[in-house]
Structure 1
């Protein structure tokens, strides 16, 4: 197969596969690469209508990637809302995403969380505009330590770290008398994220973070 046909097919495949991605960042990156390859392929054969269309798509993808990268740490974009542990909307979010939430819990088993996941004494929703993008549940041990029962982000924003806004706004934990946060068992693959939001490895598989 001639190399230019490989380029054309690769661009088409990437564009199609990008549409199957749940993560917004991954979608934009794959769509951008596919659009650039498709632009080059169509321009090579003088198919200017499709070259222009894919070129425009590439420009749009570059814009959104720039905007997403700029907003990923912008406190004006994300907000943290504290809710009651038995809040009806919180229960709804956790129920809708029950299987995915279970894979990201830091405390295995219901007993360790003091009931189900909504039994945590502190509950926070991470929102982007009117969209809920994450949930953080913390249980107060009563000795100044808070156990992070759940730190979960929706698949769309899993390439970002919206949960960090909860930890940055650490006065909410201090207001509840907490001096440190503990992740007793880090979910698989979460170590880089925990380091980014200020946690340090303690003993065994536990992670700790001081509350400012």
Structure 2
């Protein structure tokens, strides 16, 4: 037992500390909660073994808080996330500001994306939660197919089901009579499979049934206007 305490106990303490520091560095809410929960379990065990009871109690409380938030994130209906999708023109000043601000991160996930505001065939959308920008979607539609030029979510919202809202709940597709969605081929870490997209070569495809599609509606690209959720 003494050998175990001398050799493994310090490692347990260092591991818990590393997990705690790593959790604080996370920008994604879910990853922060998971790492922080793992850190509290490790540090609670460490302090239990060395009998530092106040630290045991603190880590148990922190673990309870993390588990409560994780359960809340899991069971909260997606419609309560409060996302709004705004159609904007390609020359919109705020849209171009967002694209410039996140340019490095955008090309880390979609290295082939090239933005040209003069391309009139593109439809751009800002995904908002209140007054915070969640992400940007840029589509090019032809006939009944929507080609995804950009599907970007800012780091802080990547665990908040924004993609599910855009592709399955909003009227981005339905308002244009889209029957099929085709994603860009070289997107890094695509998430589409868990939303029901099927793999087709290096891209993902979403087929919409006729019952899910309404008649095409005219969308003003020059003004920001909400697309009904």
Aligned to 1:54: 59
Any stretches of 5+ residues in structure 2 without a counterpart? 1-5, 213-229
User: Separation in 2 of the partners of 1:120 and 1:98?
Assistant: 21
Distance of 1:59 and 1:118 partners within structure 2: 51
Give the number of the structure with larger relative contact order, counting CA–CA contacts within 8 Å between residues 6 or more apart: 2
Larger Rg: 2
TM superposition shift of 1:160:
4.7
Which residue in 1 is equivalent to 2:193?
195
The alpha-carbon distance between structure 1 residues 120 and 197, as it changes in their structure 2 partners (threshold 3 A), is: farther
**Offset, 1:79:** 1.5
What CA deviation, in whole Å up to 9, does each residue of 1:13-70 have, x standing for no partner?
2111211122221111111111112112222323222222222211111111112222
Q: In 2 relative to 1, CA 99–119 (structure 1 residues): closer, same or farther, beyond 3 Å?
A: farther
Q: Which of 38, 44, 52 is the aligned partner of 1:39? A: 44
Residue 125 (structure 2) aligns with: 124
Cα displacement (A) at 1:184 = 4.0
Instruction: Give the TM-score taking structure 1 as reference length.
Output: 0.82
Count of matched residue pairs = 203
Alignment of 1:13-162 (within 5 A): 13-71=18-76, 74-85=78-89, 86-105=91-110, 108=112, 110=114, 115-116=116-117, 121-141=122-142, 143-162=143-162
Unpaired runs of 5+ residues, structure 1, are none
Check the 8 A contact 2:125/2:137 in 1, yes or no: yes
